[in-house]
Structure 1
C-alpha cells in the first residue's frame, strides 16, 4: 500500500483493509475539503475499513507496554498505601484506557485518510504537490461546486484554473 515501510505504515496496513479501486476525483476532492476543515471523512468514499478486532489487539499491546513497567515500578509503594486509593486509581486508569481507544481510533483514521488522499492526489494531480496545492485546489473546487461544473469537466476546470494563476 505505501512505498516506505515504516512502523506507521505497517500499523495502518495491519488495522485497515483498503480497496484496490482508485479513488474517484470528486470523492478525493470532497475528502480533501472535509479533511482540511477538520471534519471526519467517510472511510467508504476513500475505500478503507477498520478491522476492529485487530485495532483492539494492537491497542491492548500498546497499553500493556506502557502499564506493565509502570506497575512494576509503583507496586511496592502502592502495596503500602490504603487499598481504597488503589481501587480509585484502578478505576481512573480503566476509564483512561477505554477513552484512549477512541482517541487512538480517531488518530489512526486521520492518518489513514491523509495517506490515501495523498496517494490519490499523485494519481489525479501528479505535477502538483499535495502540500503546496491542497488549499488552492480546495478553493477552486468550492468555486466549481458553486458553478455546478459536471464531474466529467471537473478535472479540466481545476487544471485550467491552476495554470491560469
Structure 2
C-alpha cells in the first residue's frame, strides 16, 4: 500500500517525467549507474526533480512529526534555558537539511529505477529486469571497454544475452 502510494502519487508529484521513452544507450547508461550505486541526478534524460515540491513535502512531514512532539514536551521545553533552545533549533535545522538530502537521493534512485523498468519493458520485452539488469550492466561495461559504440552496443549486448541464456 505504501509502495503503491509512493510510486503512483508521491513520485509523479515530486518529479517532472519525460513524454518520450528512453533510448537504448540512455537506458544502458542509467542502468549501469544504478547497478554501480553511482549518483543518478541529471543522468536520466527528461526526469527533473521539482525542488519546491520536495521542500513542501518535507516541511509537511517534518511538522507532522515535530508539532506533536513539541506539544507533548511543551512544559519541559518552556523551562529550558534560551541558549539550549537556540542550540536545539540549530540542531533540528541541520537534521532537517540532512534528512532532506537523504530523501532527495532516495527519491531520485526510486524514480530512476521506475523509469529504467519502464524503458526495460520496451527494449528488453523478453528479459525480466530483476534477473538480467546486473548482467546487462556488466555487458555494457564490457562493450565500453572494448570500444563498441553507437548501434553496435545494442547488438553486442543482445549477442551476449543470447549466449548467456
Taking structure 1 as the reference length, the TM-score comes to 0.89
Contact 1:17 1:49 in 2 (8 A): yes
Judging changes above 3 Å, is the alpha-carbon distance between structure 1 residues 153 and 85 closer, same or farther for their aligned structure 2 residues?
same
Query: Aligned partners of 2:106 and 2:26: how far apart in 1?
Result: 21
Secondary structure of the 1:45 match is: coil
Match of 2:6 in 1: 8
Instruction: Give the C-alpha shift of residue 97 in structure 1.
Output: 1.1
Match of 2:95 in 1: 96
What runs of 5+ residues in structure 1 fail to find an aligned partner? none
Instruction: Give the C-alpha shift of residue 71 in structure 1.
Output: 0.7
Match of 1:87 in 2: 86
Match of 2:122 in 1: 123
Match of 1:34 in 2: 33
Secondary structure of the 1:65 match is: helix
Query: Aligned partners of 1:160 and 1:57: how far apart in 2?
Result: 47
Query: Aligned partners of 2:36 and 2:24: how far apart in 1?
Result: 18
User: What do residues 49-68 of structure 1 show as CA deviations (whole Å, max 9, x unaligned)?
Assistant: 01111111111111111111
What does residue range 136-147 of structure 1 map to in structure 2 within 5 Å? 136-147=135-146
Query: Aligned partners of 2:108 and 2:30: how far apart in 1?
Result: 13
User: What do residues 114-135 of structure 1 show as CA deviations (whole Å, max 9, x unaligned)?
Assistant: 1111111111111111111111
Aligned positions, number:
161
The answer to which structure, 1 or 2, has the higher relative contact order (CA under 8 A, 6+ apart) is 2
User: What do residues 5-56 of structure 1 show as CA deviations (whole Å, max 9, x unaligned)?
Assistant: 8221211100110111111111111111111111112435332001111111
What runs of 5+ residues in structure 2 fail to find an aligned partner? none
Query: Aligned partners of 1:47 and 1:160: how far apart in 2?
Result: 29
Query: Aligned partners of 2:141 and 2:49: how far apart in 1?
Result: 30
Query: Aligned partners of 2:127 and 2:16: how far apart in 1?
Result: 28
What does residue range 48-87 of structure 1 map to in structure 2 within 5 Å? 48-87=47-86
Taking structure 2 as the reference length, the TM-score comes to 0.89
